[in-house]
């Protein structure tokens, strides 16, 4: 799978004429060269339901007079650019307008996406209706006509509950209750897996090795069956300015790394999100997103929307080219690179603890990134053998199977760091591991205070407020690393103080952080609190505890907290590669995070734990040697400047 891809949307209204009228093969090729693009996903069918070649199973766009897709593919092949082919699967306005009974329905009868009937917009189809048969015909036609191109990309799919008449009739016929939401979710999964099976069979009739990707907009953590309906690769749709934010991709990538499939990070050229004609992000934003993708183990894809005339936009490909020119120079240092990590974050979402919500996982990843901890995100099926510490964020209660797996980590010398209700048995408020303490239920105060046993810089000794009703612990042979300080009272109509909560009273509420044989337990659900409030002392308190368990980390740097640090091993090239990224999003408008300036960070000091002295340390891809020292199993050097993304190679 190539590194510099473009996803070229072409959802084009039937009320616009002159479709493809300005397409010019040479201009198309020139823009791909300007953008340093080596693969581009091209449209067979769009959300409006129109095809961009002379389809025999459906309709070509009414204002397209030639086979645009054929000419696009021909142009790409002449300059060695790959061409995966896009088919809109979940949306097809043309077929839905002529077959309204095929639409997917919410429980209230509205259609997903557009909502009320008079709203403008696409409306989703149900894969449990005859629409699926039509879609399979479309897939087969693309396979027959183009041999699948360089892969098939099917969009707007996933296990989605549907209350259309077909689904309700089938559920009732099966003796089930359509009002049973849990069963309807089971049914949705059954329908989705039937769809993926039929697509796979249709593709395999013509070409067994053809890549297929089903885009759900997110790779659900902990559901490997759904991830592996994509046999060759994964695509992580994550437009930072399109609603995903800059936190989403590092979390998704850290999980995708463990699944054994190559993956790419899909961002966009837009200021906002898909379908934004005339919207552009700053080239520096795309440069940073590209650097973060490479550092996270991903290839790249940039979303664009082709103008109805078929003419490629030079401004867009100048932006893309600014990033992809750098990627082209860096590819040799990321191919077949394995991430070296110290910590595994056991995903709360993957363990089914948070009903699909991300707050604990997202807060934990934010803390780990800001603390420059090397980590993977794992699920309960992951091999935990290589990790020094397993982090259980906030809400991971354990059953016998998970308890045995984590106990094996402790038995070999690894440690656990648990927060909130993590580490308790699923069926009772008793700890499943020996943290040197007992859990005594909710503390009863919201908020309360934590007093660390070690000063937290730069604040020193203090009682730090923690919002939420957290846990009460009782020491049982462990070492208290922090204590709880109770407030005078909870704020209510009977008693309140000042504008918010009551001050700390000085009453000892018992230990707040305890270290025992299994690791460290924190009474407070720090990760969700950090996600919601971003209070820096909470991060530093948690990182103090984590670093205590890690011991000597693989990498430490002086890069500021907005930086991203990863470390990889290229065994075939006999070298390690350190990635340093730095860029600070700022909020512009109501809810848009923007990258504009990339401030250089100078004289970044680095310490790498390494069993053998490297023969050379050098900047990559520049090849500039970096002076270093080696003593006590540690390589020490200074990176002169980090501007956006800098790699450093440590050669054997």
Predicted confidence at residue 590, as pLDDT, reads 84
Confidence of residue 357 (pLDDT cuts 50, 70, 90): low
pTM of the model as a whole: 0.95
The larger pLDDT score, comparing residue 242 to residue 405, is at 405
For all residues of the chain together, what is the average pLDDT?
A: 96
For 562-580, the pLDDT digits (tens) are: 999 999 999 999 999 999 9
For 614-636, the pLDDT digits (tens) are: 999 999 999 999 999 999 999 99
Residue 552 φ/ψ, nearest 5 degrees = -85, 115
> For residue 466, what are the β-bridge partners?
448
Confidence of residue 161 (pLDDT cuts 50, 70, 90): very high
Q: Kindly give the interhelix angle for 359-370 and 536-550, rounded to the nearest 10 degrees.
A: 70
- Residue 441 predicted with pLDDT over 90: yes
C-alpha closest to that of 203 among 160, 158, 155, 150: 150
Alpha helices, DSSP H, located in 147-265: 165-173, 181-204, 224-227, 248-256
Q: Kindly give the interhelix angle for 526-533 and 359-370, rounded to the nearest 10 degrees.
A: 80
Confidence of residue 217 (pLDDT cuts 50, 70, 90): confident
- Residue 355 predicted with pLDDT over 60: no
Q: Which of the 8 DSSP states describes residue 242? A: G
Predicted confidence at residue 592, as pLDDT, reads 86
Domains and CATH numbers, the chain: 4-91+124-158+193-335 (3.20.20.80), 341-550 (3.40.50.880), 555-651 (2.60.40.1180)
Alpha helices, DSSP H, located in 10-50: 25-34
- Residue 353 predicted with pLDDT over 80: no
> For residue 519, what are the β-bridge partners?
416, 516
> For residue 609, what are the β-bridge partners?
634
- Residue 263 predicted with pLDDT over 60: yes
- What string of H, E and C letters represents the secondary structure of 524-546? CCHHHHHHHHCCHHHHHHHHHHH
Residue 479: burial class (beta carbons within 10 Å; 0-12, 13-18, 19+): middle
Cα–Cα dist 87/249, whole Å: 24
Cα–Cα dist 619/300, whole Å: 22
Residues 241/242/243/246 CA torsion (nearest 10 deg): -40
Confidence of residue 484 (pLDDT cuts 50, 70, 90): very high
Confidence of residue 352 (pLDDT cuts 50, 70, 90): confident
Confidence of residue 243 (pLDDT cuts 50, 70, 90): confident
Predicted confidence at residue 587, as pLDDT, reads 87
User: Long-range CB contacts (< 8 A, 24+ apart) of 254-257?
Assistant: 254/296, 254/345, 254/365, 254/375, 254/376, 254/377, 255/219, 255/221, 255/347, 255/350, 255/376, 255/377, 255/378, 255/379, 256/219, 256/297, 256/298, 257/296, 257/297, 257/339, 257/376
The larger pLDDT score, comparing residue 94 to residue 358, is at 94
Predicted confidence at residue 358, as pLDDT, reads 79
C-alpha closest to that of 216 among 324, 356, 37: 356
Cα–Cα dist 647/629, whole Å: 18
Predicted confidence at residue 354, as pLDDT, reads 65
């Amino acid at each position: 799978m190539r590194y510099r891809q473009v996803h070229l949307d072409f959802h084009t209204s039937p009320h616009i004429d002159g479709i493809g009228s300005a397409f010019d093969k040479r201009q198309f090729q020139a823009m791909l060269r300007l953008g340093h693009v080596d693969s581009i996903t091209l449209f067979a069918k769009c959300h409006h339901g129109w095809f961009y070649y002379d389809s025999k199973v459906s309709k070509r766009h009414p204002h397209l007079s030639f086979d645009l897709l054929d000419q696009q593919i021909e142009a790409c092949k002449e300059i060695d650019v790959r061409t995966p082919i896009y088919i809109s699967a979940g949306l097809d306005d043309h077929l839905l307008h002529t077959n309204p009974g095929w639409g997917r329905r919410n429980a209230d009868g509205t259609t997903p996406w557009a909502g009320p009937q008079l709203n403008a917009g696409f409306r989703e189809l149900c894969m449990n209706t005859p629409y699926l048969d039509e879609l399979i015909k479309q897939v087969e036609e693309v396979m027959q006509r183009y041999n699948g191109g360089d892969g098939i990309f099917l969009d707007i799919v996933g296990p989605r509950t549907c209350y259309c008449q077909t689904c309700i009739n089938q559920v009732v016929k099966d003796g089930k209750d359509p009002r049973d939401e849990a069963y309807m979710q089971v049914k949705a999964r059954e329908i989705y897996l039937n769809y993926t099976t039929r697509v796979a069979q249709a593709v395999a009739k013509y070409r067994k090795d053809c890549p297929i990707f089903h885009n759900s907009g997110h790779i659900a953590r902990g559901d490997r069956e759904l991830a592996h309906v994509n046999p060759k690769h994964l695509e992580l749709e994550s437009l930072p300015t399109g609603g995903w934010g800059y936190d989403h991709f590092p979390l998704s990538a850290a999980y995708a790394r463990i699944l054994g499939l190559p993956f790419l990070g899909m961002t966009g050229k837009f200021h906002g999100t898909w379908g934004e004609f005339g919207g552009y992000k700053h080239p520096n934003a795309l440069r940073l997103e590209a650097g973060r993708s490479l550092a996270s183990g991903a290839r790249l894809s940039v979303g664009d929307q082709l103008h109805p005339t078929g003419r490629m936009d030079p401004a867009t490909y100048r932006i893309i080219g600014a990033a992809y020119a750098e990627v082209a120079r860096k590819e040799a240092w990321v191919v077949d690179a394995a991430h070296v990590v110290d910590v595994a974050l056991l995903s709360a979402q993957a363990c089914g603890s948070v009903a699909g919500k991300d707050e604990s996982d997202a807060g934990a990843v934010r803390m780990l990134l800001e603390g420059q901890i090397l980590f993977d995100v794992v699920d309960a099926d992951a091999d935990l053998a290589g990790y020094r510490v397993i982090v259980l964020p906030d809400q991971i209660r354990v059953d016998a199977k998970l308890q045995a797996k984590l106990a094996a980590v402790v038995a070999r010398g690894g440690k656990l760091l648990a927060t909130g209700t993590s580490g308790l048995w699923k069926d009772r408020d008793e700890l499943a591991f020996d943290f040197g303490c007992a859990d005594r239920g909710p503390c009863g105060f919201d908020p309360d205070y934590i007093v660390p046993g070690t000063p937290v810089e730069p604040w020193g000794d203090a009682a730090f407020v923690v919002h939420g009703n957290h846990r009460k612990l009782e020491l049982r042979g462990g070492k208290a690393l922090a204590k709880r300080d109770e407030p005078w009272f909870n704020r209510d109509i009977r008693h309140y103080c000042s504008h918010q909560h009551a001050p700390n009273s000085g009453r000892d509420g018992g230990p707040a952080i305890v270290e025992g044989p299994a690791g460290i337990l924190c009474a407070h659900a720090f990760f969700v609190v950090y996600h919601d409030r971003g209070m820096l002392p909470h991060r530093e308190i948690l990182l103090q505890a984590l670093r205590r368990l890690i011991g000597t980390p693989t990498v430490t740097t002086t890069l500021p907290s907005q930086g991203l640090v990863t470390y990889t091993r290229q065994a075939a090239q006999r070298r390690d590669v350190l990635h340093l990224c730095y860029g600070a999003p700022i909020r512009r408008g109501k809810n848009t995070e923007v990258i504009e300036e990339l401030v250089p960070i100078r004289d970044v000091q680095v310490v790498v734990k390494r069993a053998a002295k490297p023969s050379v340390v050098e900047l990559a891809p520049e090849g500039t040697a970096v002076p270093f020292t080696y003593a006590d199993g540690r390589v020490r050097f200074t990176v002169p400047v980090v501007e956006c993304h800098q790699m450093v190679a440590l050669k054997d």
